[in-house]
Amino acid sequence: MISFAAQDNKSGEHTVTWKSILAYCNFVHRRARPFPLLFGLSLQLTAVCHEMVLAGDMDRHSKSTPPDPADQESCAKYIKFKAELARNFKAVKGMWSTGLSMLPASKLQEDFPKTWEGQAEPNPEEMKEMPGKYAVPYRLPLTSCSTALEAVRVGHSVLSEWCKKENVDVTSKIVLE
């Protein structure tokens, strides 16, 4: 997620590359399912990724013009793209709903106090993503307005707390502080 956010930051727009992370997200869901809180977190993180895909697709859609009706191949691609856009929108709504019900703000506060205490009051200047700056403040719970780097920070913090509580010895090589 960090590299995709950095690429977006560099180009100034949501890139198509976000779609490539979705298969990895599905892999994580399967592995996290036995752990309800982590499964809820994985759904929320995936929802943020889907939001990035939707933002890019909506931007491209807003700049495109409907194809010439005589060009059946272009029309078919256009219709397929619009259907995919609607499907993704519906899917992301479900992810947010399930993810937030499995890991609601009350559970974040209760089970992950360090993560909860680490959130900051929203300040638009501090929330800007800057190249090489990964220690962006975050707000909880994650929402459709959360940035990719906020999601990374929350995910990293929750997972670190969970590992510590479960006596799982993991050392992250990513420094987000």
Question: What average pLDDT score do residues 104-129 get?
Answer: 84
Confidence of residue 23 (pLDDT cuts 50, 70, 90): confident
| Percent of residues, the chain, with pLDDT higher than 70 | 82
Range of the domain at 85: 2-165
- CB hemisphere CA count around 46 (13 angstroms): 28
In a domain, 69, yes or no: yes
In a domain, 118, yes or no: yes
Cα 131 to Cα 3: distance, rounded to the nearest angstrom: 10
Confidence at residue 60, expressed as pLDDT on a 0 to 100 scale: 81
In a domain, 158, yes or no: yes
Confidence at residue 46, expressed as pLDDT on a 0 to 100 scale: 94
Residue 13: pLDDT over 80:
no
Confidence of residue 106 (pLDDT cuts 50, 70, 90): very high
In a domain, 88, yes or no: yes
Q: Which two tokens stand for residue 28?
A: 């994580």
Confidence of residue 111 (pLDDT cuts 50, 70, 90): very high
30-87 pLDDT per residue, tens: 999 999 999 999 999 999 989 988 888 888 888 888 888 899 999 999 899 889 889 9
In a domain, 176, yes or no: no
| Domains contained in the chain, number | 1
**Is the model's pTM score more than 0.75?**
yes
Residue 124: pLDDT over 90:
no
Cα 147 to Cα 139: distance, rounded to the nearest angstrom: 10
Residue 173: pLDDT over 60:
yes
Cα 64 to Cα 78: distance, rounded to the nearest angstrom: 9
Which residue, chain included where needed, has tokens 């995919």? 84
Question: What average pLDDT score do residues 134-147 get?
Answer: 88
Which residue, chain included where needed, has tokens 């943020």? 48
Q: CA gyration radius for the chain?
A: 18
In a domain, 174, yes or no: no
In a domain, 48, yes or no: yes
